[in-house]
Structure 1
Amino acid sequence: MLMGRPDTTPYDLRFQLLGVPVRIHPAFWIVGLMLGFDQTDPKRTLVWVAVLFVSILWHEMGHAMAAVWNGLRPSVVLYWMGGLCFSERDRLGIGGNIAVILGGPGAGFVLGLLTVMIGAGVGGLTLQDNLALFGLGSGSIREAISKFNSPYVLSFYYSMLFFNFGWTLVNLLPIWSLDGGQFLAQVLTSRHPYRGMQQTYTVGMIAAGLVALWAFSADQTFLAIFFALFAFSNYQGRRALQQQGGYGSFDVDRGDWWKRGR
């Protein structure tokens, strides 16, 4: 997502990874612990947070590496909503922008495939086994689980697939400001910035609303609230754009888009 940069705190964790400055806001750990808390087995909570950290950082580094390859100097922040990569993409054309946007999801799929390959090589897990873990396909979930010598290894493996395949696909939905929504915006605004952004917000509002309704009907309360907030955010964005007559920034990395005309 491209949103405002979270405020710094004295408790931020800072380091550099492959030359990219990384900052982790304390809220990242707090929300991660809340979402993955397992009162019956706290060790599973630690596994969840570890996978969350690795997967989101890997995703944001995918954006960052694509930015570096395009001559930019990115930075990464992990915070309560996930991760952000700042890279001043306004310097790039549409091709470079799309490369940076898709770098994150691409990295997620690569990490998921690496996990599957390790599972096949070390544990003998087949495609049917992987599908069975998620209740898909014709494989036996009992047989799949039996190939793990530890419940924590199973939890780690399952979570890695869940995040790097499942949530990567969700992140590609055409909802601003998910990566899929940013990709859609690049395509629609390439010829007509104002109208294209209006269309992006409209599509995002409808798509997020439909996912929220589905999640609510499936008793997925957290997911329903999450996408309801996205629907409302897209509604607000479209309304603000109309009130400003199009003269407003829709991307922190392209703050002067309106200067190039509507």
Structure 2
Amino acid sequence: MQLEIPSLGPRSIFSKAERIDSYLRVLNALMLRDMRTRFAGSYWGYLVQVLWPVAHMFIIATAMAFRHVPPPFGDSTMVFAATGAIPALAFQYISREIMKGIMQNKPLTYYPQVRTLDVMFSRVLVEIVSSFLGVMLILTILFALGLNPIPKDITTAICGYLSAIALGIGVGTVNVAIIQVFPGWLLGYIGIGILLYIASGVMFLASDFPEQIYYYLKWNPILQLVEWVRLGYDPTLPITIDYIYLFLWIFGSLSLGLALERTIGRRGSA
């Protein structure tokens, strides 16, 4: 799919408004290009991205049912699986797809109207929309099955989910800086992402482990984000969230990533 880059036109008294309009059209073009090229060059293929969290939920719930494992909290295995898969995948997809977006759209940054940050921002918007659509679809399916997916503390669950998105943006920004120097980092990060997903407590309740093991598991920020969401469903869980640690990860990774991107971008343009 070709990307039509809008021209800013001659400077005038309306140049600021023209630049804003051009910037929005660039973002719109980048987002549409991403949605068209992600799967088989069709907008219908974009639905695959939305359906992945649903697939994860069913796979985890089916595996637990096959092994006759009761849900660690609540009455529904599917609700338990959803509370883990949603925040973990929100982080994983955003942090990975921002990096892939830069690799796929790098030639577009040679246009003066398109910057690396524009490509990153457009991919973040697409991933956030995809994540929200996935959440809505999961809630719809759970309601249709006669289950109650509404958390007891909605604010806590939403804050945990939004923090997972924020951390995904921060780590994804760092990945963008790394991938421009070491292109092979994409494969390395995919492997790391799988390990983080397995150790993030999506398929188990980490607080059920012995204290010595649980202590080391909590160094994984994804696990604490999953626990944050689950705490909204069952406030009585023996979970303590280290909010300072999580916010250090979120703001630290975002600051580091932007600083690295700016430094690498300057070297690349020199």
What TM-score comes out, normalization by structure 1 length? 0.32
Between structures 1 and 2, the one with greater strand share? 1
Between structures 1 and 2, the one with greater helix share? 2
What TM-score comes out, normalization by structure 2 length? 0.31
